[in-house]
Amino acid sequence: MPKKDREITFIDLFAGIGGFHIAFERAGAKCVFVSEWDAHARNTYRHNFSKTSPELFEENANGETPTFAGDITEVSLEAGQTPIKNFDILCGGFPCQPFSQAGLRKGLDETRGTLFFNILDILTHKSPDAYFLENVRGLENHMSGETRTLDIIKEKLMSLGYSFNYDLVKASDFGVPQHRPRLFMYGFKNAKSSEAFVKPEPIELELTMSDILGGEVPQKIGRTLRVGGVGSGINDRRNWDSYLVNGVETRITVKDALRMQGFPDWFEFPETVSRTQAMKQLGNSVAVPAIEAYAKAIITALKKG
């Protein structure tokens, strides 16, 4: 069946709490495989998607959930044994720590950085029509020896027959009041799809931090949500979670952070998840509306191609 007449499918790698899942489902695609190794994030993911995508969490005779996998390095890719069904788009916010200052910028020389090569293995074995990867902005200028890491990534993806494009995208360009600059990398197997892709245009920001926090906040756009260091105080140079609201120092809540990332109102954390763990999971997540804008553009290009 031609792609324009059928449902587009995707897999959600390094899935976190499901930002890509929400974005691509909103864009009209169906998730057929998930991989996330962190137990806390897996708990949140299952809590939110077990009702909407129950087939992802079905257990086999051994009580395992093959299509809701843990460590991607342990997932078999052998024909007849892999739980990864055929799919159209590979999605993944692969670990960013190796390319950030927090990860000492070791890049592809550091173990977590080599998880990119698991992406290459899946693309090699399954040969989907497109990929969409997300990472920190530091990846753009990160070096692996004398070679730019991004050029290595580009070379590897193009060697598999894919086009390669990347954009530096801010969450605030797509409707949520958070800077969060991130590198979006995407490409297609089919030249017609690549030619049909139209880069999403930024939209005017209507939701501000004053709306999020319910009072007058000096800055319209909030600071990028981080993984750690909550409660550092408004005068601390590392502060990211405290704001002046009507002149009073206020820490953002988990609900505030969810809105800053563009998660829908129905999304929630299990009762067993602490505030610290919830904020960590959100700091590791993606800005859903920005991902959604690109998801729609990629799916439209695939159907035209």
Positions marked catalytic: 96
231 — phi, psi (to 5°)?
75, 30
Q: Do 239 and 232 form a contact (C-beta atoms < 8 A)?
A: yes
Distance (Å) of CA 274 to CA 14, 63, 137, 162, 239:
21, 28, 29, 41, 20
The 3 state secondary structure assigned to the chain is CCHHHCCCEEEEECCCCCHHHHHHHHCCCEEEEEECCCHHHHHHHHHHHCCCCHHHHCCCCCCCCCCEECCHHHCCCCCCCCCCCCCCEEEECCCCHHHCHHHCCCHHHCHHHHHHHHHHHHHHHHCCCEEEEEEEHHHHHCEECCEEHHHHHHHHHHHCCCCCEEEEEEHHHHCCCECCEEEEEEEECCHHHHHHCCCCCCCCCCCCHHHHHCCCCCCCCECCCCCCCCCCCCCCCCCCCEEEECCEEEECCHHHHHHHCCCCCCCCCCCCCCHHHHHHHHHCCCCHHHHHHHHHHHHHHHHHC
